[in-house]
Structures are given as C-alpha cells and as structure tokens.
Amino acid sequence: MSQRTLAIIKPDAVERKLAGRIIQRIEDEGFTIRAMRRVHLTEQQAGGFYAVHRERPFFASLTQFMSSGPAIVLVLEAEDAIKKWRTLMGATNPANADAGTLRKEFAESIERNATHGSDAPETAAFEIGYFFPGVDLI
C-alpha cells in the first residue's frame, strides 16, 4: 500500500550543498516527491514542530539548530514509505548508521545528521500538515 511521509533535508546538509545529492538518492530509491519547499524556520516554528520533545534535554539545541539556516521539506510517497525512508536515512547517530545510508555518508554528528523523517503514520500526518497545510498533494 502506498504511504506518505515527511522528509527534511536539515540546515547542515543544505549549508554544505548536499540537497541535490540527497534528492537524487530519494528518487533513485523509488520515492515519488509529492511536495517540496525550502523553509527557514524561526525558533518558535521549530519548537512547534518538535513540541513532542519539549521536555527533553536536547530540545533547546535542536530548535536552535533547526532554525539556524534554510532546510528543505518534502512529502515522499512509496510503498511502506515511512520504513523505507527511515532505512535510507540510517540511525540517528551517524556512528551507528549502516554503510550506504544518508546519515553515514552525509551526517556530521548526532544533531547535525542531515535528514529527518516521520516515525509513524500519525507523526507523518501531523508533520505533513505542519509544513503543507491546506495543500492538495497530487
């Protein structure tokens, strides 16, 4: 069954001009890009997006990082898109990521790890709505 997920090419990867290479990998893996836009989040917007982590010790540094520069948000579609995207990204900590994953190849650290992806259908619905409210994804 076809599924949608949100993907983010984070500010560290955009700054290092890796977005094109990451998008190429997305397409090479068989995803359809249903929506894409470049954003520069404020700290408040990043805080709203990551509100589920508000009580975690890394929340402040995460929202500062995510508002530090432009990012690219995408809606990806594929069979089992959430699992497929998370597999392509690799482990959050690039030191633990498998060879050939985006984070193993492009991440600098556990925080500056190049990409984000939804972890469940409910999360994907919230995250897609956060960045693409009212958009008819065709």
For 93-137, write each residue's pLDDT tens digit. Answer: 999 999 999 999 999 999 999 999 999 999 999 999 999 998 888
Distance CA 22, CA 60 (A): 27
More confident residue, 134 or 87: 87
pLDDT, residue 95, reads 96
Among this protein's residues, is 116 annotated catalytic? yes
pLDDT, residue 101, reads 98
Choose the catalytic residue: 116, 118, 127, 132: 116
The first and second tokens of residue 117, run together, are 């992806």
Average pLDDT score, the chain: 96
Q: For 8-27, what is each residue's pLDDT tens digit?
A: 999 999 999 999 999 999 99
Q: Average pLDDT in the 62-73 region?
A: 97
Q: Average pLDDT in the 46-57 region?
A: 94
Distance CA 55, CA 5 (A): 25
pLDDT, residue 136, reads 84
